[in-house]
Amino acid sequence: MKSWRDHYQARISTAADAVQIVKSGDRIVFSHACGEPRVLPGELIKRAEELRNVEIVHMVPMGDALYCQPGYALSFRHVAFFAGKPTREAIWENRADYIPCLFSQVPSLFESTLPIDIAMITVSPPDDSGFCSLGVSV
């Protein structure tokens, strides 16, 4: 039987390799606030020419949210549950959608109206027993 360490090591990849699973038409969710992935969004942007209609669902971006820029409108569409600074202009210009909801309603949205294809979240490295922390933003 494999140890958790072997299982973990077999799944480590670069960020560029990790985003290769994303296909046109996928719906991705990013964990929000301090749990927002820092590197993966940039790697997705690098694939903009080959991707179309990828929906990025996010509570509130803390980064620059480049996927909301006009040049990426064919590749990415942001769905926000809070209209933060990086996404307001995209919402106003119909390049992003705003869904007002309470934080407690988000899980039921994912189970019904917005089923998720891929979740990109930030976790801690595993401890000696193989457990990771999902932090406060998942």
Tell me whether residue 1 is in a domain.
no
Domain span at residue 35 reads 14-120
Q: Please determine, for residue 138, whether its predicted confidence score (pLDDT) is greater than 70.
A: no
Tell me whether residue 125 is in a domain.
no
* 86: nearest Cα among 136, 15, 9, 33: 33
Q: Please determine, for residue 137, whether its predicted confidence score (pLDDT) is greater than 80.
A: no
HSE-up of residue 76 (Cα within 13 Å, Cβ side) = 29
| Total-model pTM | 0.91
For the segment 78-93, the average pLDDT, to the nearest whole number, is: 91
What is the tens place of the pLDDT at every residue in 93-106? 999 999 998 889 99
Tell me whether residue 137 is in a domain.
no
Q: The domain that contains 57 carries what CATH number? A: 3.40.1080.10
pLDDT of residue 60: 84
Number of domains in the chain: 1
Which is higher by pLDDT, 86 or 111?
111
Buried b (16+ CB within 10 A) or exposed e, 81-90: bbbbebbeeb
Tell me whether residue 130 is in a domain.
no
Tell me whether residue 52 is in a domain.
yes
Tell me whether residue 7 is in a domain.
no
What is the tens place of the pLDDT at every residue in 17-57? 999 999 999 999 998 888 889 999 999 999 999 999 999 99
pLDDT of residue 45: 97
Tell me whether residue 77 is in a domain.
yes
Tell me whether residue 85 is in a domain.
yes
pLDDT of residue 83: 87
pLDDT of residue 61: 85
pLDDT of residue 119: 95
